[in-house]
Structure 1
Amino acid sequence: MYHQPTYESQLFGYRQCRDQNLLAFLRHLQCLPPMDKNGPMNGRCSRETEQMEQFLNQAFGFTNIPQHYIVPGVKSFSLQQYPHQMQPDAVIYFPHKCANSFAMTTQEIKNWQRSYRVYAAKNVNGMSKETLHKALQGKSEDGSDAFRMKFVVRISTCPILMEFDAKVIPRRLTDEWPNRIKLVSVTGIDFAGRKHDIGDIQHYLLNWQKLFHLDPKTGLPVVHNGRDFCPVSRGPSAILDEKRLRDSLTLMVRLRLRACDEEGVHIVVETGIGLGVFSGKQLGIDQKVRRLSARAAREVLEEDGPSYKSIRAVVFALPVFSQGRSHERVPDTYDDFVNEFRTSNYNGRIPVLIADQ
């Protein structure tokens, strides 16, 4: 029996799909409870952060190292004991041992860690095993080092401990579902205007020198608070190199989906694409960036879909957070993706669900 969707969603490519079980699954996803967008994970998550720190401290002796950072803004830490030093059958409970905790063994944790794989685009300038090894240790420099990492995908088996509403997902040791979830790094372009991603600003914005205050000695944007560039007040509109941006977005989507396919992923769930400041909202280019992102995804699915060995469907989870002053619905990433797949008459072999979730 088919039930009405409980939130905004659109399904594309289902007419050419002959797998009725797959279609039933996608229809079921449309009927899940709506996302709690006002929950604690919507920015107000200090309690959840403390909960995670307490869990890590109790389970592994986690402590932050004062004045040390892995990358700017991310504190360095130490552990008193590592999973490989513990008994394989030792049971760890998140957030602690209780009726609805998430239970796991240290052997499972080690297995999840060993599943870690890295896929990189070989044709990117400067890409090598040496630069990858350096970057994966958190030692990438600003500029070209950071820029190359947008063409690198990291993927591993990684269970989900809680939902967006911060409610812990109960799990017994006999439950196998955590071993069927892969976490994939989302490669992307960052137009937020931050020191680490200066390569993005220089590579894709034709008039970047006119958008930010420049240091007269270096000719580079002035950095405020150790991280952010200082935009020119009432400066000109940003001019995108659209072809260069589109080519990069296409390569990133192609690499990400190919990695998922090689790792045996059946249902790909893409999240957080082109949101907020990262798509250049403060520069006035966010809608254009989102549309190019949607176009790149659609074209790759149409071109590469027939060659996928594992991927059977793609879900774009694009929650709508934008509201006007009167709390009316404002077009967002969700709308740009729906419009792209609808107006282009998507004809890919892979069914696509776009969801406000």
Structure 2
Amino acid sequence: MHHQPKLAASVSIGNPACESRDQERTSRRMNRVAGSATVLDKDDIVAARLRGARSSGPDASLHSSDTDNLPAQIRTPKSYASEIFGVDRSTSEELRTLLKYLRRQLPPMDKQGPMSGKCIPETDQMEDFLKRNFGFYNNGQYIVSGVRAFELRKPLSKMESNARIYFPHEHRGSFTMTVSEIRRWQNSFAVYADKSISGTDKVFLYKALQGKSKDGDEAFRMKFVVRISDCPILMKFDAKILPRSLDEYWPNNIKLVSVTGIDFAGRQHDAKDITTYITNWEKVFELDRTTGMPAVFHGRDFRPLKRHPPVVLDEQRLVNDLICMVRTRLRACDIEGVQIVVETGIGLGVFAGKHIGIDGQVRMLSAYAVRYVLQNEWSVYKNIRAIVFALPIFSRTLDGHQLPDTYHDFVNEFRESKYRGPIPVLIADQDMHELTIAIALQGFRVSQLNPADSHGVFGEYWQNHGPAVEEKLALTTVGLLVQHHLINPSVLDHSKYHFI
């Protein structure tokens, strides 16, 4: 049986002005990541530092930036790209062991696996699970366009506390939980919002978390709102169920952090992202002759002009807001007692603006924002001990050559800045579930990041057979039970809303 680790007491933290006082450059040339020539044993690393040996970058001797460059003796079929920064003599042996394990011992991500497509069997499985256990049914209404509403004929509040629930159904390899456990996970739900954002109050949050935020200003505020709760993982992204008996504690170590990223894809609900961060948006997008705003096509999308000038970003405003977003979610995690934070590239996929040529710039500024907060505000965090970035490498040319990806931009940021903050950072070509489960099984309190939609509805389009990460999390975790407003009453409980 796994025991919950003892945590330091959580503290309430104030929120300094969301401005970067750092004078570092926020734009950099995109570089390919160079591989490390040698990988030393941990004792050699410590000895070299004690002798004052100079490395070529932060913890260069711990790097293995590209599996093609690893020495033959450790280049195994299980190898995957990873980098570690910020590990030094002060890093505990326990943490060193964990990070080493995460780099070397996990199976590589199957990027063409069963959940890389439409996930029809997994969607059917979740619907069937909810129907059998809770009387789930779609009532013909919609929360927002394309998002089906539903009801439960057997809500958890009316079920016996000791009743057992099996996912996906009762059999030897099912994930077993009790109604009382689910209620406890539901009760852990909390919202942390940046109090410096105008218009963000409990009335707004209550409305927004039902999918009722308006286009523009209200949608814009949601990127500074963090939802967090206990949220066990039911199966990995290989679609294989995780067997769990009731005497296993590890699922209770996992929290899910749902937060909205910046949307440069160009959608009506997030119009303010375009008009705030792109200074020449009127020359980039087709305009509505009546409103002067970007014209809406297919009910929600903006369309770039076929020929438009290079997009000009307001880099200072963008990086300041990115820093605020990082600061808010890390403080929420710290207050909730999270020890290891698993992050992913929020807003750095289809929402990064590749179609208008700014995705590389957005990725680099996002990496800068995270590194800036960890480098300059580490003393604020009382519980967080390490940050792990799950950044799978997908981008390749048709002939298989590697293209710059989010992984490389984050590695470049931490390497070129010579990051030596006291909070170690691991960047890995891995999926978040694999990392999170491994950390939870080691007894650490761990969070993983859910890149949520600005509508504020958990799982958003999870029934629509075309899931992005948010929808896949709805299909593989208990997230629908603990973070969806139509199932968990805590989501609409004003006492759960906090401002930092």
Cα deviation 1:86-134 (Å, max 9, x = unaligned): 0001111111111211111111111111100111111112222211121
Following the alignment from structure 2 to structure 1, what is the Cα–Cα distance between the partners of residues 89 and 346?
26
Residue number among 336, 345, 349 corresponding to 2:418 in the alignment? 345
Q: Deviations over 1:163-212 (max 9, x none)?
A: 11111111111111111100001331111111111110111011111222
CA contact (8 A) 1:17 1:351 kept: no
The correspondence for 2:213, drawn from 135, 140, 157, is 140
Partner Cα distance (2:148, 2:123) in 1: 13
2:349: which partner in 1? 276
- Report what 1:290 is aligned to: 363
Structure 1 equivalent of residue 118 of structure 2:
44
Give the C-alpha shift of residue 233 in structure 1: 1.2
Name 1:33's counterpart in structure 2.
107
- Cα offsets for 1:59-89 (capped at 9, x unmatched): 11111222x2222322111111111110001
- Name the SS for the 2:260 alignment partner: coil
Matched, 1:91 2:164: yes
Matched, 1:101 2:174: yes
1:328: how far off? 1.7
Q: Give the counterpart of 2:386 among 313, 323, 331.
A: 313
Q: What secondary structure does 2:373 align onto?
A: helix
Residue number in structure 2 paired with 1:63: 137
Question: What amino acid is the match of 1:116?
Answer: F
Letter of the structure 1 residue corresponding to residue 305 of structure 2: V
Distance 1:324 1:109 in 2: 45
Higher-RCO chain (CA-CA 8 Å, sequence separation at least 6): 2
State how far apart, in whole Å, the 2-side matches of 1:98 and 1:219 are: 59
Structure 2 match to 1:258: 331
- The match for 2:321 is 248
Matching of residue 125 in structure 1 with residue 201 in structure 2: no
Amino acid at match of 1:53: E
Q: Distance in 2 between matches of 1:16 and 1:313?
A: 15
Q: CA 1:234/1:40 → structure 2, altered by over 3 Å: closer, same or farther?
A: farther
User: What residue identity is the alignment partner of 1:11?
Assistant: I
What RMSD in Å do the two structures reach over aligned CA positions? 1.5
- TM-score normalised by structure 1 residue count: 0.96
Amino acid at match of 2:420: N
TM-score, with structure 2 as normaliser: 0.69
Contact residue 267 and residue 302 of structure 2 kept, 8 A: yes
Q: Equivalent residues in 2 for 1:219-258 (5 A)?
A: 219-258=292-331
Percentage identity across paired residues of the two chains: 58
Q: Report the equivalent of 2:227.
A: 154
Judge which range, 287-296 or 270-279, deviates more: 270-279
Q: What are the equivalent positions in structure 2 for 1:170-209 lying under 5 Å apart?
A: 170-209=243-282
Paired residues, what number? 356
Unaligned 5+ segments in structure 1 are none
Compute the displacement of 1:36 (Å).
Answer: 0.9
1:272 positional shift: 3.3
For residue 204 of structure 1, what is the amino acid of its counterpart? Y
Q: Deviations over 1:312-355 (max 9, x none)?
A: 00001000111111122211000000000000000111000001
SS in 2 for 1:153: strand
Whether the 8 Å CA contact 1:117–1:154 is kept in 2: the answer is yes
The amino acid that maps onto 2:102 is L
Once the two structures are overlaid, the 10-residue window that deviates more, 112-121 or 213-222, is 213-222
Aligned partner letter, 1:311: I
Moved over 4 A (4+): 1-5
- The amino acid of 1:36's aligned partner reads D
- Secondary structure in 2 aligned to 1:81? coil
Separation of aligned partners in 2, 1:323 and 1:72: 34
Cα distance 1:328–1:44, how it changes in 2: closer, same or farther (>3 A)? farther
- Separation in 2 of the partners of 1:319 and 1:120? 29
Q: Which runs of 5+ in 2 are unaligned?
A: 1-40, 43-72, 431-500
Letter in 1 for 2:123: T
Shift of 1:16: 4.5
Q: Which of 86, 93, 97 in structure 2 is aligned with 1:13?
A: 86
Whether the aligned pair in 1 keeps the contact of 2:189 and 2:229 (CA below 8 Å) is yes
Residue 426 of structure 2 aligns to a residue in which SS? Answer: strand
Equivalent position SS for 1:336: helix
Contact 2:225 2:259 (8 Å CA) reproduced: no
How far 1:218 moved relative to its partner? 1.4
> SS of the residue aligned with 2:87?
coil
8 Å Cα contact 1:320/1:333 also seen in 2: yes
